[in-house]
Structure 1
């Protein structure tokens, strides 16, 4: 959560956040995928120091970006520059400019099939899209039957979203994996409510409310 400006002589706030959250996952050859708020040359160097790769979209005005990558490109053109530590910053022109940072990729492209026909796409972009699709899907599923309402206290929104949004979506995923059941997220939510309301060990007032209804 953003708590205002923080000063740290060792790194910027976005880098500090990522390093703290990934502390127990470092030094194991993993790859972290971040969006453009967190991605930076600084974070790439810190991850490599801990034997971890970084892949993410990058803001074009981020400090340390090579000038060569800021030039204008034609559609389907790609340009990139890699430093001595293995951090590559690239820019690809599709419908709009896409700036990426990767410690795993250079400017190599792969063939991607579309309805309009095959196109050449940077391997970094393909892997990034594949990695973030699960996050997009989680956000989408969490938005179904959202319990969020207009309230003044921001921390209440976070608590509600975590308990009734993210936790339910994660539980739904685990349930399907364990039971090999393709139950929809809506049906899963309904079963949770039914279980909470009509559980035999629930207090008497719930039973009375049910009879009264």
Structure 2
């Protein structure tokens, strides 16, 4: 990986590429790093103008393409943010597992919404799933007999 640690100003880019990959660092409000095998290192002028400088806004082609096509992922992240079950844990694989469970529930909710006319909020749908899983797989613990304490002579 290229070393893209140099400080840059807003609107500037640093990039390195070979015949397969382009690694790019661009600064807008904050630094953005991109690694792509689809784009070239070129800047695209947008139809919008900066309200302060009145200059045409320019962005790298990979950033423009990313912004145009990431609506569904951003929307799913937004929907999951309020109901996510991920907790602080050191184990990365636990976070990944629970994130996959959350994504599966989100996808199930989307499928449910296409088949049923009633609109059920995601949190309520998640609660119904949890209750159904508890009803189905909860096994009552066997009654434990409590032995009375005896005094040793």
Contact 1:110 1:123 in 2 (8 A): no
Which residue pairs with 1:34 in the alignment?
none
Q: 2:21 aligns with which of 68, 71, 87?
A: 87
Which residue pairs with 1:24 in the alignment?
none
Distance 1:182 1:112, change over 3 A: farther
The answer to whether 1:172 aligns with 2:92 is no
Which residue pairs with 1:142 in the alignment?
80
The answer to whether 1:102 aligns with 2:36 is yes
The answer to whether 1:184 aligns with 2:121 is yes
TM-score, normalization: structure 1? 0.43
TM-score, normalization: structure 2? 0.54
Which residue pairs with 2:9 in the alignment?
74
Deviations 1:90-132 (A, max 9, x none): 2322233323222221223241648947622222113334555
Contact 2:20 2:37 in 1 (8 A): yes
The answer to whether 1:119 aligns with 2:57 is yes
Which consecutive residues of structure 2, in runs of 5 or more, have no partner in the other structure? 137-153
| Distance (whole Å) between structure 2 residues aligned to residue 136 and residue 124 of structure 1 | 17
| Distance (whole Å) between structure 1 residues aligned to residue 125 and residue 64 of structure 2 | 32
| Distance (whole Å) between structure 2 residues aligned to residue 187 and residue 70 of structure 1 | 45
* RMSD of equivalent CA atoms: 4.4
| Distance (whole Å) between structure 2 residues aligned to residue 185 and residue 121 of structure 1 | 36
Contact 2:86 2:99 in 1 (8 A): yes
Distance 1:123 1:149, change over 3 A: closer
Which residue pairs with 2:147 in the alignment?
none
Contact 1:112 1:120 in 2 (8 A): no
| Distance (whole Å) between structure 2 residues aligned to residue 143 and residue 129 of structure 1 | 20
Give the structure with the higher percent helix: 1
